[in-house]
Amino acid sequence: MRVTRPQSGAVEELTVGVVAAGSGVAASAVRFYEEHGVIRAVRTSTNQRRFDDSAVPRIQLAKLAQRIGLTVREIADLFAHLPRDPACADWSRVADHLVAEAHSRMTDLTLHLELLTSDATFDEVGASLDARC
């Protein structure tokens, strides 16, 4: 997945529609991510949402993080440590965290898979099921 690189000196001017199109999600998803603290908006005098240009890469990374298995709350907590106008080094720290998290989850899943495919596990589970049925 290609993440759009944020520009320095972000200006809060992107509408929900622009953010949705740029990040490949529905407008309702943009509002969902805002509601859960993944992205932030300011309101215009007519109460319309406006986002800075970090909203698109935040949503792109959030979608990737969700595929890794993070919850929206975990993603919002991770992004809470980003400055308002993240620099490349900030995005790199987020990416490093996601890579480490993916490796950790893969290790856990591999261990579970090994347990599920071992004869000893099936013997134990089978005995438990036999006792209940």
Q: Calculate the CA dihedral of residues 121, 126, 131, 133 and round it to 10 degrees.
A: 140
The structure's pTM equals: 0.76
**How far, in Å, are 103, 104, 106, 115, 120 from residue 54 at the CA level?**
26, 27, 29, 42, 50
Q: What is the DSSP letter of 14?
A: B
pLDDT of residue 119: 73
Indicate if the pLDDT at residue 133 is higher than 80.
Answer: no
* Parallel, antiparallel or unpaired: strands 41-43 and 49-51: antiparallel
The pLDDT assigned to 2 comes to 45
Q: Per-residue pLDDT tens for 50-107?
A: 999 899 999 999 999 999 999 999 999 999 989 888 899 999 999 999 999 999 999 9
Domains of the chain and any CATH numbers: 16-132 (1.10.1660.10)
Report whether 90 contacts 83 (CB < 8 A): yes
| C-alpha pair distances (Å), 16 with each of 2, 23, 80, 106, 133 | 21, 11, 21, 35, 54
Structure confidence at residue 118 (pLDDT): 82
- pLDDT band, residue 115 (cuts 50/70/90): confident
